[in-house]
Structure 1
Amino acid sequence: MALVSYSDSESDSDPTTTDTTLDIPPRKKLRQSDNTTTKPALLPPLPTAFHDLYASTTRVSVRDDPSLHGGRKRVIPHVEGNWPTHLYLEWYPQRNELDVLNDILTKCGTEKKKVHTLLRSDLDVQLPLHISLSRPVVLETDQKQPFADAFERAVQESSAKAFNAIPESLDWVSNAEKTRWFLVMRIKKPPHDQLNTLLRISNQTLTIFGQPCLYTTTFSNSSSSSSSAYKDFSDRFHISLAWSLTAPSIDDQTRISGIDLTPLEESLDIVFSSVKVKIGNVVKSLPLDRAID
């Protein structure tokens, strides 16, 4: 099964600023008595909007130079006036969850081969993980705002709600070009089928703007049960944990197939309460209403 590739190197565009602002309270001084040493409390997690401000790495070259990206090749070439675009759901694991995910990578034997983690950057900075709702597509300048407005309106008018994702299994899958392989954590179908709902919204919007759909090459508004508009793609949704330039061996595939992810249901709190729209370096977060049980 082929996986659509996406990476920081494919999403580079001219630097712009986001319209997101953060109100950061002034730092309070710690008081210490002569006889007691006060230990600072652990800092709370950063707000989601903070990560949107720094969603892209700094571009070091406008040409495709795989040596700058661990051997990765740009799938979408950089063209002035084109805007790499991606629709996705984002998850930022907490510290204890990172420990769990690192343990998974160890069990998968990733330290024995050239595998690059997606949990942290080359500078050891934690990275957010995500579920894709689109391929990496390209919009022209005059399409940017109409596309963002159309997708936001479709999400607001839909029945899509916030939901918890539960890990189901591990797998190795390739991108469409067979240039990279990803170690992914597949997700169980949510109770109210929210992933398929959001995918249909994404594919509908992409089709309007002449862009390819995700997991299907065409989109139909037909009410036929065989239509791609109503097809169940639950077996495709996943969260990528690591990547490699070489295909996994049979031993690699066998090893991960025997790992039971059931215990992770309690140790990982994967909540998706918004949809991300990334156009160039600008990320907009569209909140999802809370589901009513």
Structure 2
Amino acid sequence: MSLVQYSDSESDSDTQLPPPPPAKRIRPNAQRPSNQGSSLPPLPTTFYDLYATSTRVSIQDDPSLHGGRKRVIPHVEGNWPTHLYLEWFPSKSELGVLENLIQKSESKLGDRPRVIHSLLRSDLGAQLPLHISLSRPVVLRTQQRQSFIDAYQIAVRDSNVPPFDIMPGNLHWVSNYEKTRWFLVLRAQKPANDGLNRLLKLSNRSLASFNQPPLYEKANQNSFGQQKQTNEANEDYSHCFHISIAWSLTEPSTNDNERLASIELQGLEGLRVRFDCVKAKIGNNICSIPLPSGIVEQKGIGGL
């Protein structure tokens, strides 16, 4: 769930539109048109990429606008927050199971009062997609955006990582790197083709070539001060991958995690989450890169 965005200083146009025509009055006994029997096709998954960011409402970082959260990456002109991830849009039945887990988790937080914020829906009640991260929140410069996405598309295509299924594991609390927020997560069990580790490695390598830090892996610097990944080709980070379903500003205690482990994960038995593409979000633009090959869907200016 993205942070509240910040408004532009000026509107796009000062042109005034003509007033809309007056609405037609409906007589009390008039019969309204019926939509019964109409069947609308489901929205394509790429539709959600167009509206992945909420409306900007402030030009300042105001934590009160988004539950006390603070920007991890300060807004700087010419910097583009970037995130690589796998996206899951739960079905209605899956959403109900996840909401039930959040309620149970809140009841296991002991005596200390705290607030848990769901990541399943927006403030207006609209369903939000969930994800497994393949990168930290990093920053690209304006001139790096297109060259990075071009290189990343090639890396994913040449990786030969086919689509794969993930089975969710146990519940746990994890923090962000800054330890300013704690997330209620479902651990992701290791897929049969080790797709998560393979995609993580190529994502870290792609970002390292743009001097960006890795996710989970350790990094060092060469003599030019550029980021390089350490030689951990056989390292298994399966225990790190997770799907966040809620968050809190209060750090959970050891007892909180022990109580969390006692929750029965009813409804998750046999659940498999299918991933068939990687998503790269740069600013407000999202590029969907299919696994292992196919047409890359691009949006925005310059292929973004």
Fold similarity call, TM over 0.5:
yes
- Equivalence for 2:138: 137
Contact 2:87/2:275 (<8 A) preserved: yes
Contact 1:169/1:186 (<8 A) preserved: yes
Contact 2:120/2:129 (<8 A) preserved: yes
Q: Distance in 2 between matches of 1:195 and 1:10?
A: 29
Q: Distance in 2 between matches of 1:69 and 1:229?
A: 39
Partner of 1:48, secondary structure, is coil
**1:208-242 deviations in Å (ceiling 9; x for gaps):** 0000000123279xxxxx83233110000000000
Q: Distance in 1 between matches of 2:290 and 2:191?
A: 18
- Equivalence for 1:174: 175
Partner of 1:169, secondary structure, is strand
Q: Which fold has the larger relative contact order, with Cα–Cα distance below 8 Å and residues 6 or more apart in sequence?
A: 1
- Equivalence for 2:67: 70
Partner of 2:196, secondary structure, is helix
User: Residue 50 of structure 2 aligns to which amino acid in structure 1?
Assistant: L
* Cα distance change on mapping 1:250 and 1:260 into 2, 3 Å: same
How many aligned residue pairs are there?
A: 256
User: Residue 142 of structure 1 aligns to which amino acid in structure 2?
Assistant: Q
Q: Does 1:84 align with 2:81?
A: yes
Contact 1:134/1:202 (<8 A) preserved: yes
> Once the 2 structures are TM-superposed, how far is the Cα of residue 60 of structure 1 from its aligned partner?
1.4
User: Residue 258 of structure 2 aligns to which amino acid in structure 1?
Assistant: T
Q: Distance in 2 between matches of 1:196 and 1:10?
A: 31
- Equivalence for 2:2: 8
Contact 2:5/2:56 (<8 A) preserved: no
* Cα distance change on mapping 1:202 and 1:13 into 2, 3 Å: farther
Q: Distance in 1 between matches of 2:289 and 2:128?
A: 20
5+ residue gaps, structure 1, are 1-6, 15-36, 221-225
- Equivalence for 1:127: 128
Partner of 1:230, secondary structure, is coil
> Once the 2 structures are TM-superposed, how far is the Cα of residue 270 of structure 1 from its aligned partner?
1.2
Identity across matched positions, percent: 56
Contact 1:115/1:243 (<8 A) preserved: yes
More deviation, 250-259/190-199: 250-259
User: Residue 57 of structure 1 aligns to which amino acid in structure 2?
Assistant: S
Q: Does 1:238 align with 2:235?
A: no
- Equivalence for 2:97: 100
5+ residue gaps, structure 2, are 9-33, 222-229, 294-304
> Once the 2 structures are TM-superposed, how far is the Cα of residue 258 of structure 1 from its aligned partner?
1.3
* Cα distance change on mapping 1:38 and 1:210 into 2, 3 Å: closer
Q: Distance in 2 between matches of 1:157 and 1:250?
A: 43
* Cα distance change on mapping 1:42 and 1:124 into 2, 3 Å: farther
Q: Distance in 1 between matches of 2:81 and 2:131?
A: 17
Contact 1:13/1:280 (<8 A) preserved: no
Contact 2:188/2:241 (<8 A) preserved: yes
* Cα distance change on mapping 1:158 and 1:262 into 2, 3 Å: farther
Structure 1 vs Structure 2 CA RMSD: 2.5
TM-score (norm 2): 0.78
Q: Distance in 1 between matches of 2:87 and 2:5?
A: 16
Q: Distance in 2 between matches of 1:95 and 1:87?
A: 26
TM-score (norm 1): 0.81
Q: Distance in 2 between matches of 1:173 and 1:257?
A: 13
**1:138-169 deviations in Å (ceiling 9; x for gaps):** 10011000000000000000121111110111
- Equivalence for 2:47: 50
Contact 1:10/1:75 (<8 A) preserved: no
